[in-house]
Chains A and B, each alone.
Chain A
Amino acid sequence: MDWQGQKLAEQLMQLMLIAVSVIAFTTGYLMASFQMMILIYAGGVVLTTLVTVPNWPFFNRHPLKWLDPTELEKHPKPQPSLNTTSKKKSVKK
C-alpha cells in the first residue's frame, strides 16, 4: 500500500463507520429495536473491514518512483571528511 492508499484507507474507514452508525441508530430507533441497531452496525463493521483492511489494488495507484541505481552512481553520496568534524568542534567551543 502506498502513501496515498494509506491516507485513503484511513479516511474511508472513519467515514464508512460513522455513516453506518448513523444509519444503524436511526433504523434501530425508528423500528424500536436495539437488536436491529447492533446487527446493522455489525454488518457495517464487517463490510468496512473487507474494504479497508486487505491490500486492494486501488490502494496502490500512486507507487513511489525511486531513482535508478545507475543514476545513483553518477551522484555519489557526500562522504564525511575529517575537516568538517574538527570545524564543528571549534564551533562548540
Chain B
Amino acid sequence: MATVPAYTPDALIAADIDAYLAQHQTKSLLRFITCGSVDDGKSTLIGRLLYDSKMIFEDQLAALENDSKRVGTQGQEIDFALLVDGLAAEREQGITIDVAYRFFATEKRKFIVADTPGHEQYTRNMVTGASTADLAVILIDARKGVLTQTRRHSYLAHLIGIRHIVLAVNKMDLVDYDQAIFDRIVTDYAAFAESIGIAGFTAIPLSGFKGDNIAAASANTPWYGGPALIEHLETVTLDSEAAVVRPFRLPVQWVNRPDLDFRGFAGLIASGTIRPGDAVRVLPSGKTSRVARIVTMDGDLEQAVAGQSVTLTLTDEIDCSRGDVIAAADAPPQVADQFRATIVWMDGEPLLPGRAYWLKTGAGTVSATVQPPRHAIDVNTLAELSVKTLSLNDIGIADVFTDRGIAFEPYADNRDLGGFILIDKITNATVAAGMIDYCLRRSQNVHWQSIDITREAHATQKNQNPRVLWFTGLSGSGKSTIANLVEKKLHALGKHSFLLDGDNVRHGLNRDLGFTDADRVENVRRVGEVAKLMADAGLIVLTAFISPFRAERDLARSMLPAGEFVEVFVDTPLSVAEARDVKGLYAKARSGTLANFTGIDSPYEPPIAPEIHVDTTRETPEAAAERIVEHVLGIWAPVL
C-alpha cells in the first residue's frame, strides 16, 4: 500500500479564518468535462484532482484504502478511480455509466467536473456533460496515442462549442516520461484538431496515478515548460466572462405579479449587461420600452450582467410573458420559425420526421417538426452519411420548423438562445439536443415591427368588424359571381371591402405558381396571408378561389381571430359546373390539354361545416348574395 499523506489544510485557515474566507469569497467558477475511455485513467485523474486539492477526508481515505484492497485494480496501490465510480452497477462492471459531477476548489477557483463515459453508446452523456462546460480535458493513454475515440471526443467537444481543449497525455509514467512519445502524440493530434476546426489546444504530459504535472510541475518531465493541469485550469478564460460583452439578452422565465402595482420579468441573463434606463425590445412582439428597476431582495441594482438571475421592471405596460426575450433595443436577436440545426438524438425511439415534438429553448416551449435529415455524421470518421432518420446517439443535420416564431441566436454565438431540447409529446422523454446553426433564408432578418395603430383602431375607424368571406367551390361553380354581388351590396351599405379573385391574383402575386398540389397549397397560403393583412387593416375581405384542400382552408382560418373567418361553400355539382363551362376549361381538361384540373384529375375536398352553404341548383346568385350579406351583417357584433 502506497503511503498517502492525510488531508493537510491551508495554514491560513488556522491562523486567520476571516482572512481565509474573504479570500475564498471571490473565487470564480470553472466547469469542465473529462473525456476518455475506461482505460485512459480518467476516473483516476479525477480522483487525483480531488485528492490533490484536499477534497478527500480521512474517513473517505480509509474507506478508499479498504475498497482498493477489496475491488481495486491497482494491486496494493490506492485506486483513486474508486472515489468517483459511484453507482453499485458500475462497481460491478468496472465502468462509468452516466454523467457524474465532482467538485473541488483551489484558492483561485471552484471547479465543477462533469465526468462522462467514453463508450460510443453514451454519446448522449458526453454531450449532456459538455453542454455547460467551459473546457474539455481529452485524455490520451501515452502508450496508445490518438485513437478513434480521441477523435470522437474531440469532435463532440468542438460540436458542443467548447473553446478550451486540454490534451492530457496520461500514463507518462508507463512510457518513462519520454518526450519523443509526447511530441509525436501532440503532432498527430494537432493535425486532426486543425482538420475539424479546433483553433488551439493545450497539451500536458501527466500521470494521474503518480501525480505528475497535476498540482505542480513534475521533476520527471524537465523537458516540459508548460503549466501543470491545475494551474492551467485556474487561469483559463471563462466563457461566461466573454458573454458579458455581447448584446443584452434575458429569456423571460417567470412574470412576477404579486399585486396590480408590480410586474417584474424574471430570468437568467444569457448575455450582456443591463442598467436602469437602458432601452430594450421584447421579442418576438418587437415592442420597446426601458428598464425601470433591477429588483432584488437586497435592494435595487445599478447594473446586472450575464450569469445573474434578476427581476426587471419596465417603464411601459407592454405584453411580455414566459418564453419572450428581453433584448438590447438596438441589437435584438432574430425571430424565425425555420432553422438549420445540428441534432444529437438521445432516445431509444428514433426521430420521426414530420412528427410534432415540444421544442424547448431559452425559457420558451413551442411545437416543432423536424424534416428528414440532410445527413448524419459518423462520429468516428466524421464522414457524412445519407440517412432517413436519427437513432440513439446519432448526430445529424436537419431543418426544424416551429409553429411560431422564436427569438434565437446561432448556437456558436449564444448557447442559451441557440441550444434546444426536443421532448416527446407522449412519453415526455427528452429525445434530442439541438443546436441552431442558422435560420433558413425565408424567415431570416424579419423582425416583427410593433405598430401603434392596432387592427382594432383600423376597424373602429371604418365602423365595421373585419371579416374574411372565404368562397370555395369547383371551377365554374359561381364563386366569383356571388362574391362580386356580395361586395356590391356591402359597398352600397357603406362598408369597406376588397375582393381577391383567384384568376386576378394568379396574374400577379401568384404568377410564379402552377397547378400542382404543392403550388395549390402555396397559392392558398399566400392568399390567406394577404386576406389576413387586409383584415388587419379593418377590411371585409372576399376571396374567390377553388382552394380545394381542407387543410389549407383551415390554415387560413387559423391565421385569423376566432369568428372572423367565414367559409362560404359554393356547392355546384361537377356535372352542372362542367355543363356550364364558362371558361372552356373543363373541355380542355377532358381533352388532356390541361392537367391537374380540380374535379377531373385533381381532388376537391368539400367543407365539412361551412358557415354558409350555397346550393346553386336551388338558389340564384342574387338570392345567395342577399343571404350572405344578411348572415354576415346579422352576426356582426356592434363595433366597440
Are A and B physically bound partners? no
